[in-house]
Amino acid sequence: MVLEMVRNERAILPGVGVRKLHSIIFGPSRPQQVTMGRHALFTLLRENSMLLRRSRGKARITNSRHPFRRYPNLAREMTVDAPHQLWVSDITYIDTMEGFMYLALVTDAYSRKIIGWDISPKLTASGAIGALNMAISQLPHGTGPKPVHHSDRGIQYCCDRYINILKGTGIGISMTEKGDPLENAIAERVNGILKTEWLKNNRPRLKVEAIDMFGDIVSSYNGRRPNLSLNMQTPDSAHMSHGPIPRAWKNYWKERHKYDQGTNPCMMTKGTLGVNLT
C-alpha cells in the first residue's frame, strides 16, 4: 500500500526524495490510513530500489562580457519577510533530443514560487523578458513598494530592453558581483530542482514537448512539492504568508563556524539570503 502511494506521488513529482514524500503521504493534512516513520520509509524504498540518485554538474551559459552597465548586489543586505519584496532570476538549459531549449525563470525569494517563466529555442533576451513580463503581471494592484529584481550579470539581464522594463515598472535592480553561484543561490537551486526532479529522467524528445510539459511542471512545483526552507509548505501556500518562515533544515557548517572570525550569531539572518538553498 505504501509503495503504491509512493508511485502515485512520483507520477506527479518524479524526483521527490524521502523526506518530502513522508511529509506528503503521512503529513497532518492527509488521512492516516497507515502510519510509518521517515526512517522506515527510507528503508522500504531502499529495499525496493526506489531511492533516487542525484547527479552533479551543469553547463555554464552566462555571458558577462558585454558593454552594458552592471548593477550592485542589493539582495545581499536584504531581509525578506513577505512576497514580492525580492525576485531572483536565472536562465538554464533543457536538453531535448532535438537540441537545447533555454528556460528563463523569475522566482519570488520569500515563497520560492515560480512567478514567471519562458522557454525559447535561442539564448536571447526575449526569453528573459517573457518571464519578467509574466512576473510583473502578478504584482499586486496599487501603488505599494515594488520588488528588487536580482540576477547574474549576463547580457540578457543587463541589456537595455530588460533594464528599461525594470525601470519603467519601478522595480529595483540588483546583480551578482563576483560570479559566485551563492550570490544567486535561490534561483540556482530552483533550476536544479526542476532539472533533477522532473527533467533528468523525463527528457523531452521534441522541443515543442518541452514547452508543452513545463506548465504542468511549474504547477506541480508551486502547488504540490513541499520545501524544506518553507517549513515543508508548498510555494503556493508560502506565497500567501507574511513574516519569517521557519525552515525545516539546519546549516550544520554554519552552526559549527558561527563564532569563527568574530561573527555575531545574532546577525546571521542578514546577508544569508543566497545561502538557504531549499
Percent of the chain residues topping a pLDDT of 90: 50
Amino acid at position 103, single letter: L
Report d(CA 103, CA 90) in Å as an integer. Answer: 8
Long-range own/partner contacts, residues 165-169 (CB < 8 A, 24 or more apart): 165/129, 165/132, 165/133, 165/136, 166/132, 169/136, 169/139
Residue from 61, 77, 229, 227 nearest 156 by CA: 61
Q: What is the pLDDT of residues 3-40, one digit of tens each?
A: 888 788 777 777 677 777 777 777 766 666 667 777 78
pLDDT higher than threshold 60 for residue 272? no
Helix (H) or strand (E) holding 26: helix 18-26
Which pTM does this prediction carry?
0.74
Q: What is the pLDDT of residues 50-73, one digit of tens each?
A: 777 655 444 456 556 678 899 999
CA dihedral 227, 230, 236, 241 (to 10 degrees): 170
Q: What is the pLDDT of residues 150-160, one digit of tens each?
A: 999 999 999 99
Q: What is the pLDDT of residues 69-124, one digit of tens each?
A: 999 999 999 999 999 999 999 999 998 888 889 999 999 999 999 999 999 998 89
